[in-house]
């Protein structure tokens, strides 16, 4: 297949995404409005023979301080046939185009999964003192074609980012936790939860925890819980304006792109979460909880409701997003994987983020600048 690449309209881009079973929420046109501090462009690959659109990419451009050169970033993209035998014919025109646009370096995140581990394997790994990381455990599923993709990228001059990728902007997680929903009943999904999860869901029900959906006007209450979480977990919270922009941008593209959930007890909101939906892929994207009322297990109740809603939407996967690959119980991120493993799903490893330095000197300067921040 001979390909041509050109800039396309947001409408063309969106129509293509809607024709697919799913794509990353970071590759829908509206994501550009969420990332308002970046300039954006919609790219389309066309089959020369038929003139048909066969791939798309959302590119975000971040300008370097003081000079008109850019980092071009395709988060969890582009949306192309990654297993195509002629991968170079997809990526070479993209690099040429981005160079023309003033990019000194390109960063992308191929949405290609290499390995998966079942919850039972991870639990066994956690109990084994010799196992320190996820990759010390034998994977339950390996995608051989993913290794071919990595080889092709290296041969083309792409460099694999540090674990999870480096560079500025939001680094995308290399390891995620997913609950597969395709061809499974809700009873099966529930049965696969560990004992603690099932007990906590029951406990929340008994205590009268109710889970409700919120709207734009509830984002301030979301922010209150989120900032409590940020203090407790030592991270810098995003401002309320970010979530307001996210809600407005995503839901004006598709009224069911972003949802907000609250778990409450006696009318008091104890935990909250945002959910994103693109085709059959549903993500739990941000979570927050108060320091009070934890004995009512609001987070378990909320996740179970979100998972059931995802199922009702016909989702094939409920994605709990990033985890660390560390299985060391003293690691501050260990609690996160422990919580997610309780859902009985699978850990998945993506190919990670890849960089192509179009200008080696500027790329190096950026690396040095980033390492000092």
Strands (E), 169-230: 175-180, 210-214
Res. 280: pLDDT tops 60:
yes
d(CA 1, CA 3): 6
- CB 308 within 8 Å of CB 193: no
102 contacts: CB under 8 Å, gap ≥ 6:
61, 68, 69, 70
Evaluate if pTM is beyond 0.85.
yes
Instruction: State mean pLDDT over 353-372.
Output: 83
d(CA 28, CA 253): 9
Res. 371: pLDDT tops 70:
no
pLDDT of residue 201: 98
User: How crowded is residue 331: how many other Cβ atoms within 10 Å of its Cβ?
Assistant: 15
| Six token digits for residue 155 | 């041969």
Instruction: State mean pLDDT over 77-85.
Output: 97
| Six token digits for residue 111 | 């949405």
pLDDT of residue 332: 85
pLDDT band at 293 (very low <50, low <70, confident <90, very high): very high
Inter-axis angle of helices 334-341 and 119-127, nearest 10: 140
More confident residue, 304 or 1: 304
pLDDT band at 362 (very low <50, low <70, confident <90, very high): confident
pLDDT in tens, 18-41: 999 999 999 999 999 999 999 999
pLDDT in tens, 304-352: 999 999 999 999 999 999 999 999 999 888 989 999 999 999 999 999 9
pLDDT of residue 333: 86
């Amino acid at each position: 297949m001979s390909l041509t690449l050109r800039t396309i309209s947001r409408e063309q881009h969106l129509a293509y995404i809607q024709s697919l079973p799913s794509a990353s929420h970071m590759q829908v046109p509206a994501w550009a409005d969420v990332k308002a501090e970046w300039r954006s462009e919609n790219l389309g690959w066309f089959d020369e023979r038929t003139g048909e659109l066969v791939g798309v990419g959302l590119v975000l451009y971040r300008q370097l301080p003081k000079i008109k050169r850019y980092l071009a970033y395709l988060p969890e993209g582009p949306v192309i046939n990654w297993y195509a035998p002629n991968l170079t014919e997809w990526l070479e025109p993209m690099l040429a185009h981005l160079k023309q646009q003033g990019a000194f370096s390109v960063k992308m995140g191929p949405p290609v999964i290499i390995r998966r581990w079942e919850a039972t394997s991870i639990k066994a790994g956690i109990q084994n003192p010799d196992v320190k990381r996820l990759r010390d455990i034998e994977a339950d599923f390996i995608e051989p074609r993913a290794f071919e993709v990595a080889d092709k990228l290296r041969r083309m001059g792409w460099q694999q980012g540090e674990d999870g990728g480096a560079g500025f902007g939001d680094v995308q997680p290399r390891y995620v936790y997913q609950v597969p929903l395709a061809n499974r009943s809700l009873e099966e999904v529930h049965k696969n939860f560990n004992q603690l999860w099932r007990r906590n869901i029951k406990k929340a029900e008994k205590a009268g925890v109710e889970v409700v959906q919120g709207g734009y006007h509830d984002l301030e209450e979301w922010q209150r819980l989120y900032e409590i979480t940020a203090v407790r977990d030592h991270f810098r919270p995003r401002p309320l304006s970010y979530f307001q922009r996210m809600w407005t941008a995503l839901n004006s593209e598709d009224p069911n792109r972003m949802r907000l959930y609250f778990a409450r007890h006696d009318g008091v909101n104890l935990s909250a979460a945002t959910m994103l939906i693109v085709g059959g892929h549903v993500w739990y994207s941000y979570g927050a909880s108060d320091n009070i009322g934890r004995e009512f297990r609001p987070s378990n109740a909320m996740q179970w409701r979100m998972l059931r809603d995802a199922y009702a939407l016909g989702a094939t996967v409920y994605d709990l997003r990033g985890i660390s690959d560390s299985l060391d119980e003293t690691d501050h991120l260990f609690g996160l994987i422990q919580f997610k493993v309780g859902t009985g799903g699978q850990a998945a490893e993506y190919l990670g983020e890849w960089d192509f330095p179009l200008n080696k000197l500027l790329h190096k300067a950026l690396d040095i600048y980033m390492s000092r921040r």
